[in-house]
Chain A
Amino acid sequence: MMHRVAVTGIGVMAAPGRTRATFWESLREGRSAIRPMTLVNGLRFSNAAEVPEYCATEYLDPKEAGMLDRFTQFALIAAREAVADCGVTFTGERTAVVTGTSAGGKTCEDREFESLYARNTGRVHPLTIPRTMANAATSRIALEYGITGPSYTVSTACASATHAIGQAFWMVRHGQVDAAIAGGSEAPFSMGFLKAWEAMRIVAPDTCRPFSRDRKGLILGEGAAMLMLEPLERARARGARIWGEIAGFGMSSDAHHLTQPLAGGAALAMRAALQDANVTPEAVGYVNAHGTGTLANDATEAQAIREVFGGRAEKVPVSSTKSMHGHALGAAGALEAAATLLALHDGVLPPTANFTEADPECGLDVIPNAARAAAVEWALSNSFAFGGLNAVLVFRKAS
């Protein structure tokens, strides 16, 4: 039996807000959380979307905080909020955990390797492997709740969280599990990793201006978002608050280039997601774009949206919330899933912040700078990764 899948819990830890409510308040007010970077200095770029004044021991006891890399801490904090929000603690073998991360425990890895190479300590901390492994977040969440069902981590760069949520959605839809915690987390602010981004020359010196003519690149962000998924009929039966439904998931690969996006691949994933949701492009009232703010992504994504939506493309509201929460890489799709669900729930479409002037290469109605009230039933959330791996989710307003 196929189930409809409800999202009954949302947890967020990100630059615009350290809770679901504060995150969403910032987004609906169009407030960008991009600020001068404090965690790392000495790079060609100096702005980022860091979680402001984050102190791990506000959330975790000092021993626990020391065991976990920053990306796992974010994941656990967001998962706790999502579980508390849904009102039930799912456990055991009929519950799944699927998380995404692009880089895993880079913060810890950088610190340990610096001690090895720069300070010639000749050794690294014995917890380096369990702290840095990409699945640390999934494992820690499973431990927290005694979840013994399918639990794993997906790493597909900037599409990681969307792939993770999509996989969890399918497991709940097909009755393989009764509930799933799914999302993504990332903590990219360490010198070695940021130097690698600097060398790619795609980080903006100013801010993230998706779809603007004068956009200069992406701005890195950090954080986590986790969703609690369960069958719609069971969520209704127990009187749960339903933020919205996940209705479809589509994936594709460009098979084209390691870093240059391809419109055809993105369009293929959007069409696959719509088909999976059994809905036509005409029904879609909002697209949360991948919208990184790089020259290549935004023009290519706009072209892909035109391929899918045809003559209606200019009429469909499209926004990039990365203009506010930055590009949180493997967490991006989860932050954007949260934003899209909250947009449908509240009937408010978050804007593309920092917008200056339209780029003819992009066009589209990008909801410039101010949120818009709109009752929308169906929405898409796009994630397109380096390496040409694409993932798209379809969300539906709770009825």
Chain B
Amino acid sequence: MPDENVIERVIGVIAKTQHMPPAAIDIDKSFLELQFDSLDGMNILFAVETEFGISIPDEQVPQITSVRQMVEGIQKLLAEKTAS
């Protein structure tokens, strides 16, 4: 289950990075629907890594195509970080 707190922080980071209102970002929207291109994607990944103190491996990036996938991926990385 996506954690509400993580969702909120991810949407906050995306909104800040993309200069758009948080209300315009729906967790079930794909980056394509949100009209983010590859450069936007890199910007967001970088900001999210800073926000959560994590490092998103390159090989996971192609699987992140929506806000929900990003939230789930971050939760997984945070869980791994806690476990270690």
Residues of A at under 8 Å CB distance from B? 44, 199-201, 205, 257-260, 296
Contact of A200 among B37, B42, B57 (CB under 8 A): B42
- Nearest-neighbour CB distance to chain A for B60, whole angstroms, equals 10
Asked if A201 and B58 make an inter-chain contact with CB atoms under 8 angstroms apart, the answer reads: yes
Contacts A199-B46, A205-B59, A260-B37 aside, 9 further interface pairs with beta carbons under 8 A come to A44-B57, A44-B58, A199-B42, A200-B42, A201-B42, A201-B61, A257-B39, A260-B38, A296-B38
Interface residues of B in 28-46 (CB under 8 A from A): 37-39, 42, 45-46
B59 contacts which chain A residues (CB < 8 A)? 205
* Identity of the chain A residue whose Cβ is nearest the Cβ of B46 in the assembled complex: A199
Contact A258 B42 (CB under 8 A): no
Taking each of A199, A201, A205, which has the highest tally of chain B beta carbons within 10 Å of its own beta carbon? A201
Residue on A nearest B57 in the bound complex, by CB: A44
Contacts of B39 in A (CB 8 A): 257-260
Chain B's nearest CB lies how many Å from the CB of A292? 14
Beta-carbon contact of B58 and A257 below 8 Å: no
Task: Tell me which residues across on chain B come within 8 A of A44, comparing CB atoms.
Answer: 57-58
Chain B residues near A205 (CB-CB < 8 A): 58-59
Among residues of B, the one whose C-beta sits closest to the C-beta of A205 is B58
The smallest C-beta distance from B63 to any residue of chain A, in angstroms, reads 13
- Which residue of chain A has its CB nearest to the CB of B61? A201
**Contact partners of B42 in chain A: CB under 8 A:** 199-201
Chain B residue nearest to A45 in the complex (CB): B58
B1 to chain A, nearest CB (A): 29
State the CA gap A201–B55 with chains docked (Å): 12
Q: Which residues of B contact A258 (CB under 8 A)?
A: 39
Residues in A whose Cβ lies below 8 Å from that of B61:
201
Collect the chain B residues with CB atoms within 8 Å of residue A199's CB: 42, 46
